[in-house]
Amino acid sequence: MTLTPGGPWPRSPELPRPVIMDQFWADAVFLHWRIPMSSVARFMPPGVVPDEIDGSAWVGLIGFRMVGAGLGKGIPVPYFGSFSEINVRLYSREQDGTRGVVFVTLDASRLAVVLAARAGGIPYVWSRCRPMTTAKSAMTAQPATYGYDVERYRGQVSSRFAVQPDTTSTADDAVSLELTARFGLHSRVGGRTLYIPNTHTPWPLHPADVTELDDGLLRAAEFHVDGPPDSVLFSPGVQTQFGKPRVVHAGRPNF
């Protein structure tokens, strides 16, 4: 997938059937920092390597509200299907060029979801996760802000971050699209690497400014970043579906 500034949103691959999950991601906040390629290799499952974007590796701190998640295309699961999630993620690439996401940690506020995801090799952590949203003020013309407050029940790790999006502008540059137009994740389960594909329509993507940032999740994951994020983005959300996983066969990368 090669993206150019101002180019169209890339077409998502056809989703292998059956659909295993359907969910809506709302109020997504994307904070990204450039980091050395050498610092991410140890997090990659067998069969994938770090993906280079605009000359470097990237680590992301992403927050969103999961709304109405359900198995297959069925009815959303009450209570357990809606919660806030905050993840620390990296970007991966297979030998054939398939790109994905590698989650380092994912914090969520539903214990049942955490336990189920861990069984599937996804590193969920049970935490108190709350959205922080301030509505647009008609009196002061102050734009709305969106963010998340996270506190783990174990380990005394917390994060708090918020952004103010510019909804009059669209983020369609190549780097912004490559960091957000990802249609699958790589995960290690039972000694095997799985690729779990997903698909969704283009989501509205806006540049944003950081209004608050006090992060401990990146430090807890042993990522040391200096200064403000190199990329700050916001999306009001999108409906997405996940398809049947496949095994990634480890081999010598050929790039």
Per residue in 143-174, pLDDT (tens digit) is 899 999 999 998 889 999 999 999 999 999 99
Residue 200's domain comprises 21-248
- CA dist., res. 93 & res. 33, Å (int): 18
Distance CA 252, CA 255 (A): 10
Give the tokens for residue 140.
Answer: 């002061």
* Sign (positive or negative) of CA dihedral 72, 73, 77, 80: positive
Mean per-residue pLDDT, 81-106 = 91
Q: Does a structural domain hold residue 128?
A: yes
Q: Write out the two tokens for 57.
A: 């590796």
User: Is the pTM of the predicted complex or chain greater than 0.85?
Assistant: yes
Q: For a pLDDT cut of 70, what percent of the chain falls above it?
A: 82
Question: How confident is the model at residue 253, as a pLDDT?
Answer: 46
| Residue 39 CA, distance from chain mean position | 19
Within a domain: residue 16? no
- Domain for residue 15, yes or no? no
Three-class SS state of 108: strand
Task: Please report whether residue 216 resides in a domain.
Answer: yes
Task: Report the C-alpha gap between 208 and 31 in whole angstroms.
Answer: 10
> Is 103 in a helix, a strand, or coil?
strand
Helix H or strand E segment including 247: strand 246-248
Residue 225 pLDDT: 93
Mean pLDDT of the chain: 85
Q: How many residues does the chain have?
A: 255
Number of compact structural domains in the chain: 1
Distance CA 208, CA 206 (A): 6
CATH code where residue 181 lies = 2.40.400.10
